Structure 1
Amino acid sequence: MVKEFNGFNLVAHNCLINANVDWGNVSEARRLFDEMPERNEVSWTVLISGLLRCGRVDEAMWYFGRNPFQNVFLWTATISGLVHNGLSYEAMGVFVKMLASGVAPNDVTFTSVVRACGDLGDFGLGKSVLVLIVKFGFEDKLSVSNSLVSFNLKLGNIDLARRIFNRMEERDVVSWTAILDMYVDTGDLIEARRIFDEMPERNEISWSVMISRYSQGGYSKEAVSLFHEMIQCGFIPNTSCYSSVISALASLKALQEGKNIHGHVLKIGMDRDIFIFCSLVDLYCKSGNTKDGRLVFDSILEKNVVCWNSMVTGYSLNGQLAEAKELFNQIPNKNNISWNSLITGYIETENFDRAFETFNEMILSGEQSNKSTFSSVLKACASLVSLEKGEYMHAKVVKLGFQNDVFMGTALVDMYAKTGHIESSRKVFNGMLIKNEIAWTAMIQGLAENGFAEESLSLFEEMERTSTITPNDLILLSVFFACSHCGLVDKGLFYFNSMEKVYGIKPSERHYTSVVDMLSRAGRISEAEMFITDMPFEPEVNAWAALLSGCKTYGNEKLAEKIAKKLSELAETKSGGYVLLSNIYASSGRWLDVSNIRKMMQEKGVKKSRGCSWIEVRNRIHLFLSQDDSHAQSSEIGEVLKLLNSEMVIL
């Protein structure tokens, strides 16, 4: 029976205090509590836990120190509230006082205490708490077991977390989601999906975790498929889930489906979520629709740096560098991703001088370059064959302590190989603590392309012998290139025939073309012709061009003319075959035929790519195209060339 006096109802007053806390009227809740002529355990617990929920820790602890009751519910509410506010150390202090007062913890207490141990990252403290859990007989309580699984996962004790999970007699969706998170965080998506499929019950978080990681890991089709399955099962996606699936659709460039989700997001009232809208900007831009991407961007009322970066990246991806630069200048708080977006755009459009200018501006602005920045700029150095700039970047990488990063090492290996400094490339490669397949590919390819074909093959054999790396299609292309350039045709054919049987790789058009080139260079023209005829698909133009080149080298004019006709049928807009045939005629002195080929090219609108070269003088890149006098100093350069020509004539 509820006590009543002077019209006061204790239960009703407790409910009013709780309601005001839920509504955020904390001051009113305190007033009601302070005016109560009588209070019970519930009154104190409701107020203290309510204050802690609202982040008013000092006030809560003031009341806690004055409460006359010593019961497990009040102690537990205080410990849980402190943990909720990130005060795990203080929570453990209250827990110790609770034990000292003689109050026995319950399963909810231990759930909060284990979480506090995890937040503190103290495994020893967690073991001590585990002893108490066993002592009080709560080791089989579901909530306690779940907290122990999460605790061990947080501290990296994956085996122990799995053992606890395996011995649990009862599991709920929290248990399964925790162990699912474990495999997701370790990147084992196959095992994560197995766990997900085994889950007897799933919630929105379980679905979202799998969809998000599929999307982040590049498994875009799987992410979209799982999203559709989630909808069919009647679950309502959260904002994180929508953001992930839109990102997956952006990678797939599935614009129409992305538009459908965009419309649905607007319909259900998520039109103000910044993460969803950043993903939508990315979707439209990756699909080549920067106009709609900009409309979405402009509709975001409170833009963060992620939004700005998404739009700058979108413009850069589509080659709209003027728009990207203009928007970049408007970003109120740039970060290194902002700078990297612009630098990458310049590099992708081969505007290398602007890329270096932007990098220098980044350094002068005080923004710290990261690994992504250096990877991009080293790629530019490799494309420009600029050893001086590459060595400068290498020094910066060492200064910032990035030299042991596998991706940075790979970028340096590639840069030195592309600039012809193969010894430095070897040195960086040999010094790498970890070598992935990209690093091995860069070194094997670098050696082959720099004329060290035999060393390239030796390194490939070393990789097979000493590492766990399985050859990929790019490595095998480099092996074929090496075999071709050192005349080891039979060895190259052996590796080609081993692709499916040994390495499980189905040869692509490029692999077949490489074999044609290998046979043609060695003068085995008949074999090359038979090989190209027996291909399981239509040979690419480069395959015929490789055979045509072999005909030129070994003077097989009859076959060359036959191939040239084939090339004219396959690629009327490709100049390679016609140029090679023209060269064959020229080497034989058949100038009339040369003239006819060039006339045919003009009639069909086929143009030979203009010659292009560049030189670096005093840290500035000068670009030259054949028959182009647009350079600011072209007249002075012409005068110097005339002088040199006259000097050579005199000599």
Structure 2
Amino acid sequence: MKTALKNLSLMNPSKSFNSYIQKCVSLLKIFSDKGLVAGGTVFHCHLLKNGVLSERCIAIKLLIMYLEFRKLSEANQIVKDFNGFDLVVQNCLIKANIQWGNLSEARKMFDEMPERNDITWTLLISGLMKYGRLEESMWYFERNPFKSVVSWTAAITGFVKNGSSFHGLKLFVRLLESGVKPNQVTFSSIVSACIEIGDFDLGMSVLGLIIKTGFENNVSVSNSLITLCLRMHEFDQARRVFDRMETRDVVSWTAILDMYVEMGELEEARRIFDEMPQRNEVSWSAIIARYSQYGDHIEALKLFRNMVREGFKPTISCFSSILCALASLESLQAGKNLHAHVMKIGIEGDLFIACSLVDLYCKSGETKDGRLVFDSIKNKNVVLWNSMIGGYSTNGQMDEAKYLFDNMPTRNNISWGAFIGGYVEYKQFDMVFEVFNEMLLSGETPTKPTFSSVLCACASLTSLEKGRDIHGKILKLGFQYDVYLGTALTDMYAKCGDIESSKQVFDRMSERNEFSWTVMIQGLAESGFAKESLALFEEMKRNSSVAPNELMLLSVLFACSHCGFVDKGLKFFGAMKLEYGIRPKGRHYTCVVDMLSRSGRLSEAEELINSMPFQPEANALAALISGCKTYRNEEIAERTARKLVELAEKNSAGFILLSNIYASAGRWIDVSNMRKLMREKGLKKSVGFSWIEVRSHLHSFYSEDGTHLKSAEIHDILELLRLEMTDPKHFPTF
């Protein structure tokens, strides 16, 4: 700008007048477009000084500039200087009033004009359409004596942008019947109309007309066609349109980027993004959102920083994506900084932003701050309510979640799912079934995640009857072949002890992922079917592209341990890092220690504990002590117990096992000392309990506990059974 002004000041208007005027017009347009009020005013003085304000093109550009700046006194002075009616000036004034929302003034000026041209009529038609006044706009359209392609297109585009695509298409037919030829803007709007109403056959017919009239190489038309192909899921056709384009703009590149984003091909989308000759806010937002959705939050943040560094202003959806990424990373301070920025630019009241902020604070454990954001929004939608309820549920604040849930103006199945999920997370399983039944009674259809949550509760309670009932509801809704629900059902049946039903569900699944294989392998192993578990693992390696994961290999080691396949288990353990690229963790070492201890290879188990690259788990030491008890090895037991005392000050398992070893050896003084040490450290043995499900109700019985409502009746029956059992007449005779 400074260079342009300097060059202009060096020019002599009298020698190169036309060139000087063109430069002045260009500079006035720059001042107007960039909103440089002070610079524009100073430049006005320069023009006045050089005496060129009498030039009509300069005066009109000055008028446009002041209208853009809403400097009405300066604009009115320029209008007065025209000395009478000027059609271009009046058109400028009508356009400005429409932009300001002064439709009444614009209509008044239009009605008072002694002369009008096609631009005048089109300005009013498009202006009324812009503010949704479709009938008034069409009243003027029908009386327009010119009806050029511009005014036809203004009316058609107005209908499409107001969601009345059908009326836009009807008007397009009238345009063709009138003999007026459509232009590129007309075709772009009509393709958009076909997309909105979902009439892709009509869209293909319009494509034929586009080719016939020679607009297939037009950039804006091609962009619309790419969007049409994407909506039809004709991705190859969209790519062909893109490849045929001789010239592409940022919209073209963004459209094809959206295609790969929608297809889930993130690497190809990134390649397209990196190749783009120019980018806009939409293309940046699209790639950032996809990285955030795919869980690569660090890369999303890097892209966001690059976007801001290159001078682009993030859109609301972009801010929302980044806040979600920060929430997943639990990066509270960075989230607070971004919150301050969105407040500074005045978009904190947007519902997308508010939901993301609630999510950020709640995932960081700051539910009070999340609630402040929630309370600051006057017109809340159901998504915001769900976010706050989910936030409370995630943090175990179920009373607060229930209060909000009970006071929601409207609920959807996501609301119920979030509420139920909170009870599952914090193992309040009775409430899970209570709320789930309320949901069914309300007429709301559970979502797949809700069914998964309830199945998780069934598995945790080993409630086979409830699990079967849920399975029936899933079948009724047609979800039986869904991979996630199939996995949840497989897990539920396995944990409830019905391994046959678990295998049936697993075998019927048309698609399986790593979680499906894991829960089936784990279910077989934990149900005592160790050989079957190992056979399924080998089948997965042969017939599936799924790679073994940590939990799957832990189940395999567990199966080897309980099946006595020690050497095979050690082979799997050695292959974890070498073959599968998985570094063994504490649980894997513990499982191998348990496997060696069960088989009496206590020295190897102790050696493995001593060779661990990190502190052994208390359970590993306890497993070795348990093996020492079985095989009466007091020496290793005492060494291991000393380590356990140092390692697990709050874990009673090792002390109890060591006490039992001493008791089996008759060392009662050591038993007494161990019990005394436990009391001094405030450690207690966990109370044993059992449970049984009767008519969908779970009954728990703790050791030495008589609080059950029917405890007296139960003990009477037990006493009766004891007497029957001790009656000599029931003794067997040989």
Partner of 1:585: 662
**Which of the numbers 139, 153, 156 marks the counterpart of 1:79?**
156
**Which of the numbers 491, 494, 508 marks the counterpart of 1:414?**
491
Higher relative contact order (CA 8 A, sep 6+): 1
How far apart, in 2, do the equivalents of 1:628 and 1:289 lie? 40
Residue 327 of structure 1 pairs with residue 404 of structure 2? yes
Letter in 1 for 2:525: A
How far apart, in 2, do the equivalents of 1:132 and 1:501 lie? 62
Give the secondary-structure state (helix, strand or coil) at the position aligned to 2:691: strand
How far apart, in 2, do the equivalents of 1:557 and 1:323 lie? 54
Cα displacement string for residues 103-137 of structure 1 (whole angstroms, at most 9, x for unaligned residues): 22222222222223333434443333333333333
Partner of 1:556: 633
**Which of the numbers 279, 282, 291 marks the counterpart of 2:368?**
291
Which of 452-461 and 416-425 deviates more?
452-461
What runs of 5+ residues in structure 1 fail to find an aligned partner? none
Residue 596 of structure 1 pairs with residue 669 of structure 2? no
Residue 67 of structure 1 pairs with residue 144 of structure 2? yes
Cα displacement string for residues 164-188 of structure 1 (whole angstroms, at most 9, x for unaligned residues): 3234333322122212212222222
Letter in 2 for 1:491: K
Letter in 2 for 1:222: E
> How many percent identity over aligned positions?
64
Residue 181 of structure 1 pairs with residue 258 of structure 2? yes
Structure 1 segment 206-221 matched on structure 2, within 5 A: 206-221=283-298
Partner of 2:335: 258
How far apart, in 2, do the equivalents of 1:272 and 1:592 lie? 71
Residue 478 of structure 1 pairs with residue 559 of structure 2? no
Label 1:171 to 1:33 Cα distance change in 2 as closer, same or farther (>3 A): same
**Which of the numbers 361, 370, 381 marks the counterpart of 1:304?**
381
Letter in 1 for 2:569: G
How far apart, in 2, do the equivalents of 1:288 and 1:613 lie? 35
Partner of 2:652: 575
Partner of 1:15: 92
Structure 1 segment 362-511 matched on structure 2, within 5 A: 362-511=439-588
How far apart, in 2, do the equivalents of 1:646 and 1:319 lie? 49
Query: How far 1:649 sits from its partner (Å)?
Result: 5.6
Q: Is the 8 A contact 1:353 1:620 kept in 2?
A: no
**Which of the numbers 316, 320, 331 marks the counterpart of 2:393?**
316
Query: How far 1:362 sits from its partner (Å)?
Result: 1.5
Moved over 6 A (4+): none
Label 1:242 to 1:323 Cα distance change in 2 as closer, same or farther (>3 A): same
Query: How far 1:636 sits from its partner (Å)?
Result: 5.2
Residue 231 of structure 1 pairs with residue 303 of structure 2? no
Cα displacement string for residues 545-565 of structure 1 (whole angstroms, at most 9, x for unaligned residues): 222222233332221111111
How far apart, in 2, do the equivalents of 1:21 and 1:633 lie? 80
Label 1:353 to 1:25 Cα distance change in 2 as closer, same or farther (>3 A): same
Letter in 1 for 2:584: P
Give the secondary-structure state (helix, strand or coil) at the position aligned to 1:621: strand
Cα displacement string for residues 473-527 of structure 1 (whole angstroms, at most 9, x for unaligned residues): 2222222222222222333233333323333322222222222222322333333
Label 1:24 to 1:404 Cα distance change in 2 as closer, same or farther (>3 A): farther
Q: Is the 8 A contact 1:353 1:621 kept in 2?
A: no
Query: How far 1:637 sits from its partner (Å)?
Result: 4.8
Label 1:198 to 1:515 Cα distance change in 2 as closer, same or farther (>3 A): farther
**Which of the numbers 665, 683, 701 marks the counterpart of 1:606?**
683
Partner of 1:103: 180
Structure 1 segment 131-150 matched on structure 2, within 5 A: 131-150=208-227
Label 1:533 to 1:282 Cα distance change in 2 as closer, same or farther (>3 A): same
**TM-score (ref. length: structure 1):** 0.93
The size of the alignment, in residue pairs, is 650
Partner of 1:156: 233
Cα displacement string for residues 331-360 of structure 1 (whole angstroms, at most 9, x for unaligned residues): 111222222222122222211111111111
Superposed CA RMSD: 2.7
**Which of the numbers 168, 172, 175 marks the counterpart of 2:245?**
168
Letter in 1 for 2:602: I
How far apart, in 1, do the equivalents of 2:83 and 2:145 lie? 24
Letter in 1 for 2:410: N
Give the secondary-structure state (helix, strand or coil) at the position aligned to 1:234: coil
What runs of 5+ residues in structure 2 fail to find an aligned partner? 1-55, 58-78, 729-734
Partner of 1:197: 274
Give the secondary-structure state (helix, strand or coil) at the position aligned to 2:233: coil
Partner of 2:26: none
Letter in 2 for 1:447: L
How far apart, in 1, do the equivalents of 2:575 and 2:244 lie? 47
Give the secondary-structure state (helix, strand or coil) at the position aligned to 2:212: helix
Residue 358 of structure 1 pairs with residue 435 of structure 2? yes
Query: How far 1:311 sits from its partner (Å)?
Result: 2.0
Query: How far 1:318 sits from its partner (Å)?
Result: 1.8
Residue 247 of structure 1 pairs with residue 340 of structure 2? no
Residue 93 of structure 1 pairs with residue 93 of structure 2? no
Label 1:96 to 1:254 Cα distance change in 2 as closer, same or farther (>3 A): same
How far apart, in 1, do the equivalents of 2:236 and 2:352 lie? 35
**TM-score (ref. length: structure 2):** 0.83
Give the secondary-structure state (helix, strand or coil) at the position aligned to 1:65: helix
